[in-house]
Amino acid sequence: MAAALIEVVGLTKQYENEGVVTPVLHGLSFSILSGEFVSLMGPSGSGKSTLMHILGFLDHLTSGTYRFEGRDVSQLQDDELAAMRSRKVGFVFQQFNLLPKTTVLANVTLPLLYMPMSEAERIANAQRAIEAVGLSHRAQYLSSQLSGGEKQRVAIARALVNDPAVVFADEPTGNLDSKSGAQIMNILDQLNQQGRTVILVTHETTTAAYARRIIRMKDGLLVGDERVDEERRRAALGGELK
């Protein structure tokens, strides 16, 4: 059985501004195994993006425990969070966050600039990541010359380049047409089939259906946690899944 990659017990998050406390997450407890494809699904304001920021070392929890690969990371300082983020996590966002006047290869190489490796190693790693998303023929194009779907594939390659333990995809199809969105989700599914842990954040039922497990959120609470078998996934997607 796969080991637990993420273990959360009693996690809360609240923000304080000028003495006003706003609770956002309320005592969440769950675990995610290495190699899972999980969707965090809920409406706007449910707390799913806040949770992703904590799980991805972009933000601190308020109380509770968060273990990553068996290590208690609940009280890490900002520099320690940054180190974990750079080594263990890849992000794909709705906004592609690419440098527009920079080549695909250079965009994908960016996360490796502060890694202890040679320039040749950085380029080789970036080329492998670009090949993994089927864009080797676009490696020397500027990102501004690409379609929306291609830009998101570059963003996925950039997320993969440091060989992370987990890839977080936050509304990755939000800026794409349905065909491009399906291509992006198929790439994420293929990465999961290769053993990569993928955590998808979405409010869309169709997008969430690509996952093999759906954790449902509402008003900062977990309100559902269900496994999705392959037959149900294919039925939900109308045969789109390749």
pLDDT above 60 for 240? no
Band the pLDDT of 237: cuts 50, 70, 90.
Answer: low
Q: pLDDT (tens digit, 9 = 90+) per residue, 97-128? A: 999 999 999 999 999 988 888 999 999 999 99
What does the pLDDT look like over 6-53, one tens digit per residue? 999 999 999 999 889 999 999 999 999 999 999 999 999 999 999 999
Question: In the chain, which ranges are continuous DSSP H helix?
Answer: 48-55, 78-88, 104-109, 119-132, 148-160, 178-193, 205-208, 230-236
Over range 72-96, report the average pLDDT: 92
- Phi then psi for 161, rounded to 5 degrees? -65, -25
**Tokens coding 62:** 């308020």
Asked if residue 242 has pLDDT above 50, the reply is no
> 195 burial class (0-12, 13-18, 19+ CB within 10 angstroms)?
exposed
Looking at domain 34-61+78-240, what is its CATH homologous superfamily? P-loop containing nucleotide triphosphate hydrolases (3.40.50.300)
pLDDT in tens, 174-216: 888 888 998 999 999 999 999 999 999 999 888 898 999 999 9
Q: Average pLDDT over the chain, rounded to whole?
A: 91
Q: Structure pTM?
A: 0.91
Report pLDDT digits (tens) over 157-176.
999 999 999 999 999 998 88
Sorted by sequence, the CB contacts under 8 Å of residue 69 that are 6+ apart come out as 3, 5, 88, 165
CB atoms closer than 10 angstroms to residue 59: 16
